[in-house]
Amino acid sequence: MSEQDSLDRFLGEEVKPSEVEAKDSSSDWFERLKKILDERSAPAVKFSRAYLLSASYDGDLRCAVLKFYDPAENRILLWYDTTGHTPYCFTNLTPEELQALPEISGRENVEGFEVVEKHNPLTDSPIKVTKILARDPLTIGGRPSSLRERLPKAREDAKVWEADIKYHENYLYDLGFEIGMPYTLREGETLPKPDVGEAKLPSGLEEALKGEDEDFRNYTAEWVRLLECPVPSFKFASLDIEVEAPSLDRIPNAREALYPVIAVSVVDSEGRKRVLLLRRQGVEEGSAELDENVELEFYDDEVSLLGATLEILTHYPIIVTFNGDDFDLRYLWHRAQRLGFPKGVIPIDMGRESALLTLGIHIDLYKFFFNRAIQVYAFDQKYRENTLEDVASAILGVGKLPIGKNVSELSYRELAAYCLRDAELTYQLAALEGCLTLKLILALARVSRMPVEDVSRQGVSAWIKSMMYYEHRRRNLLIPSQSEILAFKGYTTTQPVIKGKKYRGAVVIEPKSGVNFNVVVLDFASLYPSIIKRWNLSYESVRCPHPECRENRIPETPHWVCRRKRGITSLIIGSLRDLRVKWYKVKAKDKSLPQEVRSWYDVVQRTLKVVLNAAYGVFGAEHFVLYCPPVAEATASIGRYAITKTIEKAQQLGIEVIYGDTDSVFLRNPTEEQIAELVNWSERELGMELDVDKVYRYTVFSSRKKNYVGVYPDGSVDIKGLTGKKRNTPEFLKRAFSEAVGILSTVESKEAFSTAREKIKAIVKECYERLKGRRYPLEDLAFTIVLGKDVEDYEKTTPQHVKAVKALPAEAREKIGAGSVIRFVKVRRDPGVKLLFQASPEEIDLEKYVEHIQSTFEPLLEALEIDFDEILGVPKTSRLERFL
DNA sequence: GCGGACTGCTTACCT
DNA sequence: ACAGGTAAGCAGTCCGCG
């Protein structure tokens, strides 16, 4: 039972008593499940070497419980705390004051007080605080009567610290447990013993870090110990359920669980594929094709089907689902209770936002793949939407089986095929590239110090928070509250470019319109993490309390930074940066290493990228626990300083800079010597690594920022920002645009441009002619836009895609909401838009589409000095004349 | 009552 | 529930215009 669960019981997510009569088999199933749970929960590990994957809180036993993965037995071992560690928080009230408080005295949930000395990072001085020990986590926080809520009201200046840290995290931090690492478990011993590897820098890295101080090197070595530790191969299964739904459009409500579960499919890492089916009246066998090795199991009643399913949940150490938190496992939990299963025999720990497994680990891939940072940095934005179908087709190249009818109308074999397909896709998402996804989660867990269940469900700010908390505990630092940080140093002074933002961000250099050959792009390797490292940025080091640091100023701001102590963030992010840039990125590309080794290096490299890219942003995010705007402001400010100085230096060296954005500069035809000089200057003067990122045969810039085409020597092409590449652009424009880019990729010299220009003109002309001749099918004309929120939530304006949806009758609109993809075309009449499937070719607004042809090609045409009207065969003056 | 200049909203993108 | 900066298209508002 998790602490979340105890909380939910407190908040009362109750299920109505059984409405469906239990059959004979039910008590057998209840007993069987009870027995499994009892056996497996008993802390009876004789001896085992196992990996720590997770921790939670057992509300009944009132203690922390650790989940280990035993690779020999392929199962999860539970270890219940025997140290007597209890929940706690800190306060500035003395034990005497506390004793006198009505909200404390006589509370049997408060076990005692202890005065302890901690170090306050904000004041850089020791601080005596009272540690309040509690009987359970809810005494500390989580309900209105908790100490976290009540103590601050006891006295005007009363403070509470560290009361919002989940108990199982406290437990891990305090005992120094390392998630993802191997331990030896022995019956009778108080604690599992870590199988500690050596914290030593590999010689290549040792060399690369020669210039760093000893603390930094030791700290980096600790990361190496964590990340070089081997990863076991996991036995796991994916699971998917189908429910007899009354209508095709409605997804059954998992909290009500009104309808029977009719199919459950399970695909496991040992090649087994099972589909459990419920026998129902009038359903035919059917003839849909199924793989030979698929095991079909029929159950005469739903209790047996659910009983078997719940047993499967106890059988596997790891279960992956796609949206199991909100649907599959939640549905099973509520449905099982509806069928009379007592809560105690259901091996699911149901929380408000997650569904965890009592005897295993549940990874919900929906949450993980939906995470923006994972989408962008780990999977290179290969997928855009967040349906299983979209993610799978983008990453795996296969789609969901199309069904035209309600699942309850399918034959057994059709239903099995459909249900199995979803489980297979889910399995593949976890298993692809040698279990990349699972390894990514494990590496993230090691770095963030978070249980794998949490790390796969939460975002970057939670990961970084966890890393920081771990480090605070290790150094006996009091974790300041958000309001304290803000009170000490919560202001910014730079003017943002965009209204409503908190401070000024990166600079973007005005590009020079036109075509340039031999363009070298230099960029700072991990600019912001490098800045955080080099400039010692951290919430406690920026605007530190020492008077002597005050002249150590940050450019363009009134802020200063500490000279006396290395900031925590600077150390953590700085070491991870060096580790990625100087070790893992290099190793991931080292062809002399065996494939499996290289792939792990690639996993780590990607993991670090995700964490590093977020490290700066979180300090500027209000909801981050260590929110510290001057840190974010300082980072961006130093970034502007670095790129601006670099451009000045380049110009001094006689290099023409044609563009730059945040951390990059585009140099026109520089010599090797010029590049080397600039790179050395940066190393020397800025203390930052400036590298050649890419070399283009030529680039095409319009006057627009963040928009360009770059052609590599081998003819491959980078297209950045241009309308012709955007997902919402109609297909006919994307195709014409990509044809034009195809022409560009063949251009090898300045001379070849004259023919290329003619070909591009011809492409635009052809596009125009086909449009005018209405020779494009309607769907090629459709704009594809994702609804950012539910239709009713557009209050200030009604954008076109919303207008198009609003034209639908209410019942058709029901299943359209935030995240839905809207396809519409522009028409001549009334609201000017129509959903694609409602429109007909004659009503298309051709004039509008001609404007779109123009705006799509304009950036290219401008760079190539081609006039759009001229292409259409209109004399240059005609538009003006028409106007006059 | 209409249209241009302007601001703001929305989406998709870049780093 | 990481940040800010840019482009594009449209919605909505204000104001002048006899």
pLDDT digits (tens, 9 = 90+) for A43-88: 656 778 999 999 999 988 999 999 999 999 999 999 999 999 999 9
Angstrom CA distances, A14 to A256, A347, A351, A532, A751, stand at 10, 17, 12, 48, 76
The separation, in Å, between residue A368 CA and nucleotide C4 C1' comes to: 25
**Whole-number mean pLDDT of chain A?**
90
pLDDT on residue A465? 97
Q: Residue written as tokens 């760079």?
A: A863
- Closest-lying nucleotide for A619 based on CA to C1': C2
Helical packing angle, A846-863 and A731-746, nearest 10°: 20
pLDDT on residue A299? 95
Rounded average pLDDT over A11-31: 57
pLDDT on residue A387? 77
Q: How far is A30 from A38, CA to CA, in rounded Å? A: 12
pLDDT band at A19 (very low <50, low <70, confident <90, very high): very low
pLDDT on residue A606? 87
pLDDT band at A8 (very low <50, low <70, confident <90, very high): very low
Q: How far is A449 from A664, CA to CA, in rounded Å? A: 33
Q: Find the range with the poorest average confidence among A457-461, A594-598, A669-673.
A: A594-598
pLDDT band at A819 (very low <50, low <70, confident <90, very high): confident
The separation, in Å, between residue A831 CA and nucleotide C12 C1' comes to: 15
A330-378: pLDDT as tens digits = 999 999 999 999 999 999 999 999 999 999 999 999 999 888 888 877 7
Most confident of the following: A40-44, A283-287, A647-651? A647-651
Q: Find the range with the poorest average confidence among A351-365, A507-521, A600-614, A730-744.
A: A600-614
String of b and e for A466-480 (b: at least 16 CB within 10 Å)? Answer: bbbbbbbbeeebbbb
Q: How far is A28 from A25, CA to CA, in rounded Å? A: 5
Helical packing angle, A731-746 and A753-772, nearest 10°: 170
Angstrom CA distances, A266 to A120, A318, A388, A681, A728, stand at 51, 12, 16, 59, 37
Q: How far is A735 from A730, CA to CA, in rounded Å? A: 9
The separation, in Å, between residue A104 CA and nucleotide B4 C1' comes to: 69
As a whole-number percent, the residues of chain A with pLDDT over 90 amount to: 72
pLDDT on residue A408? 79
Footprint of strand B on the protein (CB under 7 A): A 376, 384, 499, 506, 523, 661-664, 706, 719-721, 725-728, 784-789, 794-797, 799, 801
Q: Which residues contact A444 (CB under 8 A, 6 or more apart)?
A: A450, A455, A456, A463, A607, A610, A611
Q: How far is A371 from A374, CA to CA, in rounded Å? A: 5
pLDDT on residue A18? 43
Contact A832, A818 (CB under 8 A): no
Token pair of A311, please? 């047993």
Closest residue (Cα, C1') to B13: A721
pLDDT band at A247 (very low <50, low <70, confident <90, very high): low
Contact A265, A300 (CB under 8 A): no
Q: Residue written as tokens 């600019």?
A: A527
Residue A305 pLDDT exceeds 90: yes
Rounded average pLDDT over A112-141: 95
A410-456: pLDDT as tens digits = 899 999 999 999 999 999 999 988 898 999 999 999 999 999 999 99
> Beta partners for A70?
A75
A507-527: pLDDT as tens digits = 999 999 999 999 999 999 999
Residue A275 pLDDT exceeds 70: yes
The separation, in Å, between residue A374 CA and nucleotide C2 C1' comes to: 12
Contact A800, A813 (CB under 8 A): no
Closest residue (Cα, C1') to B7: A499
Nucleotides of C under 7 A from a protein CB: 1-12
Q: Residue written as tokens 């530790």?
A: A229
pLDDT on residue A106? 63
pLDDT band at A93 (very low <50, low <70, confident <90, very high): very high
The separation, in Å, between residue A662 CA and nucleotide C5 C1' comes to: 9
Contact A170, A87 (CB under 8 A): yes
The separation, in Å, between residue A102 CA and nucleotide C1 C1' comes to: 37
Rounded average pLDDT over A781-806: 90
pLDDT on residue A403? 63
Rounded average pLDDT over A128-138: 94
C-beta atoms surrounding A459 within 10 Å:
17
C-beta atoms surrounding A617 within 10 Å:
16
Grouping H, G, I as helix, E, B as strand and the rest as coil, residue A832 is coil
Grouping H, G, I as helix, E, B as strand and the rest as coil, residue A807 is coil
Q: How far is A232 from A26, CA to CA, in rounded Å? A: 38
Angstrom CA distances, A807 to A406, A728, A783, A797, A844, stand at 26, 20, 16, 16, 17
Radius of gyration of chain A (CA): 31
A676-697: pLDDT as tens digits = 999 999 999 999 999 999 999 9
pLDDT band at A198 (very low <50, low <70, confident <90, very high): confident
pLDDT on residue A76? 93
Specify the higher pLDDT residue, A596 or A181. A181
Token pair of A150, please? 């009540």
pLDDT on residue A669? 97
Rounded average pLDDT over A383-396: 76
- The single-letter code of the amino acid at A189 is E
Angstrom CA distances, A225 to A202, A331, A782, A799, stand at 10, 41, 53, 53
List the helix and strand counts (H, then E) for chain A.
Answer: 30, 27
String of b and e for A394-423 (b: at least 16 CB within 10 Å)? Answer: bbeeeeeeeeeeebbebebbbbbbbbbbbb
As a whole-number percent, the residues of chain A with pLDDT over 70 amount to: 94
> Beta partners for A110?
A134
Residue A663 pLDDT exceeds 90: yes
Specify the higher pLDDT residue, A567 or A105. A567
Long-range contacts of A227-232 (CB under 8 A, 24+ apart): A227/A443, A227/A446, A227/A447, A227/A579, A227/A584, A227/A604, A228/A197, A228/A202, A229/A180, A229/A181, A229/A182, A229/A197, A229/A446, A231/A180, A231/A439, A231/A442, A231/A600, A232/A51, A232/A69, A232/A71
Burial class of A666 by CB neighbour count within 10 A (0 to 12, 13 to 18, 19+): buried
